[in-house]
Structure 1
Amino acid sequence: MKTEDITLLLGDATEQMRKLPRSSVQLVVSSPPYNIGKIYERDQKLSLEAYLSWQAEIISEVADLLVDGGSVCWQTGNYVSNGELFPLDVHFYSIFKEKSFKLRNRIIWKFNFGLNADKRFSGRYETLLWLTKGDNYKFNLDPVRVPQIYPGKRHSLNKGAKAGLPSGNPLGKNPADVWEFSAEKDFVVNPVWDIPNVKNNHPEKTSHPCQYPVELAERCVLALTDKGDTVLDPFVGVGSTLLAAAKHGRVGIGIDREPEYIEIAEDRLRKFRSGELITRPLGKPVRRPRESESVARVPDEWLKQGGDA
């Protein structure tokens, strides 16, 4: 699929990236396979060493495609072997550093639902590394500000010319490196990117087992690019990064080796252009059940057992 602003390429990420013009991409947003046996990985499950070697090849191509001052947002989780966790962001940081990238933020993406564990605490977050190729990078804070918690707070009377004036920015505050879209609650003590992951009842759910929400990519696109800039996702899956690019007037390029996912991405982009696609609105607070809802009440069976958890 190719339109004026969006290109979808079917094939191997390394091979397809080698065909693209060098120094032509402003931002890379992607979530590479974690090598944990998902359906799209089962024909090439690798050792951790082989996996990281492959990813180093990918990152080398990414480095060549980025303009000076370009950014990478690399979202990842953990590699698991015999019950032991290996945090992939730690390994990826070393690879990017070898390519002279500079880490600007290590962002936490928190979600409430995921795989439950029996022999360790259930994982409820993943990390997103924001790195830049050089120091002359773009950072547009205003489009991604979150509401002020204390908009009426003022400077103290000993602040000279600012004495008594509002101390915050009227456009909102910086969301920090651990973000919360619902600023009214946890943001005071624990600001996080509290974006629901795409599970069965999420409006964006497709057949992809590790789909991330469009709004996760949107914040990166808005903060790190300008209109008309090119955004690349070498593991585009069902197109969340390209939808974020298309929504905000950026040029998007996506690569995936799975024909099924490319077809879904094409269909989602068509529906977006026709106004049919449903996505979760950027910045919408995470829904919490009301006390009156049955899902928020302790089951009678638990009460009879004397439990309250």
Structure 2
Amino acid sequence: MKTTPTATFLKGDVLSVLSTLPKANYDLIVTSPPYNIGKVYERSEKLTFEEYVEWLDKVIEALIHVVKDHGSICWQVGSFIKNGEIFPIDIHTYGSFKRRGMKLRNRIVWRFNFGLHSKRRLSGRYETILWFTKSDDHRFNLDAVRVPQLYPGKRHPKGRAKDSGKPSGNPLGKNPSDYWEFSAEEYFQNDPVWDIPNVKANHPEKTIHPCQFPVELVERCVLAFTDPGDTVLDPFMGTGTTAIAAIKHGRHAVGIDKDGTFLKIAKERVKHLSKGTLKVRHSGRPTRKPRKGEKVANVPAEWNSANTRER
């Protein structure tokens, strides 16, 4: 019997709330923990980097207790930056999962085009999602996240006994890449990354949250690692992105956040989703590129003048 997906929102400190949840109760955990970089929801309790990593370790331990044996954890993180030095959070937290028996299945690279520009290092334009499972008996629905074949008419070479002359690809599409390796444009075209725009000022999903990730990013995790009717938990719910992705595809959602304002927005967004009035970016839509005639696509006259003077 098909059940209507539900959303439950819990307000409070993440460790305190997690300690009250049933053990081994959630099929998937998707979350992005605070980065300890001074955002509005972090200012009251700024930690040293060592204290921060220790706190994340406690959070990870609590998450492992509440995920089911066949369940997955998608740990979406970026980097902590201090005095221009990069501290990749995925590297500093991998051991917290591994020593508790979790198995890393993929280190997914999420690439985006916009962010803060750096002056003394290359500008960061990607974050990672560590996909961990509790056991080898885990959900993985490849067909739900396949991407279109670039060369659907490609065939196996003639002469091979079994597959001679037959189409070499899968009719449903190919397995999406889990990384982007910077080499050449051809590689990028042949092995597409998870190229999903981050939520900035003109993004249709933008709320007041300063570090909001897009629904499409969570949708892929929900579709690939859960079945309809499963329950998805986000211990840092923010404004409800994970809940929206889960409910949109027939999964139940549970979210935790200490900020009542964010949870209020999350509830409103879920209501709009049920009414069909929620603005979201449609999954799979390519990022928009400016047309040649648009003003933003042309080199400013000031830059041409500056280049002339330098010569």
In the alignment, what sits opposite 1:170? 171
- Is 1:16 aligned with 2:17? yes
> How far is 1:306 from its partner?
2.1
In the alignment, what sits opposite 2:154? 153
1:202–1:34 Cα change, 3 Å: same
- AA of the residue aligned to 2:294: E
**Is the contact made by 2:36 and 2:46 (CA closer than 8 Å) also made in structure 1?**
yes
Listed as ranges, the gaps of 5+ residues in structure 2 are none
> How far is 1:186 from its partner?
6.4
Distance, in Å, in 1 between the alignment partners of 2:180 and 2:204 is 22
Secondary structure at 1:305 match in 2: helix
In the alignment, what sits opposite 2:64? 63
Distance, in Å, in 2 between the alignment partners of 1:175 and 1:190 is 7
Instruction: State which drifts further: 219-228 or 8-17.
Output: 8-17
- Is 1:210 aligned with 2:211? yes
- AA of the residue aligned to 1:266: K
Distance, in Å, in 2 between the alignment partners of 1:306 and 1:119 is 22
Distance, in Å, in 2 between the alignment partners of 1:35 and 1:15 is 19
In the alignment, what sits opposite 1:262? 263
Distance, in Å, in 2 between the alignment partners of 1:95 and 1:251 is 27
Aligned length: 302
- Aligned-residue sequence identity (percent) comes to 55
Listed as ranges, the gaps of 5+ residues in structure 1 are none
> How far is 1:165 from its partner?
1.2
- AA of the residue aligned to 2:224: A
1:101–1:32 Cα change, 3 Å: same
> How far is 1:292 from its partner?
1.6
In the alignment, what sits opposite 1:102? 103
**Is the contact made by 1:179 and 1:194 (CA closer than 8 Å) also made in structure 2?**
no
> How far is 1:187 from its partner?
3.7
> How far is 1:178 from its partner?
2.1
- Is 1:80 aligned with 2:81? yes
- AA of the residue aligned to 1:38: K
Secondary structure at 2:91 match in 1: helix
> How far is 1:161 from its partner?
2.9
Which string of whole-angstrom CA distances, capped at 9 and with x for unpartnered residues, describes residues 134-172 of structure 1? 111110000100000001101110222321111111111
Which string of whole-angstrom CA distances, capped at 9 and with x for unpartnered residues, describes residues 246-271 of structure 1? 00000110000001100110110010
Distance, in Å, in 2 between the alignment partners of 1:5 and 1:192 is 31
The 5-angstrom pairing of residues 158-307 of structure 1 reads 158-178=159-179, 187-188=188-189, 191-306=192-307
- Is 1:117 aligned with 2:109? no
**Is the contact made by 2:177 and 2:194 (CA closer than 8 Å) also made in structure 1?**
no
Distance, in Å, in 2 between the alignment partners of 1:276 and 1:302 is 43
TM-score, reference length from structure 1: 0.94
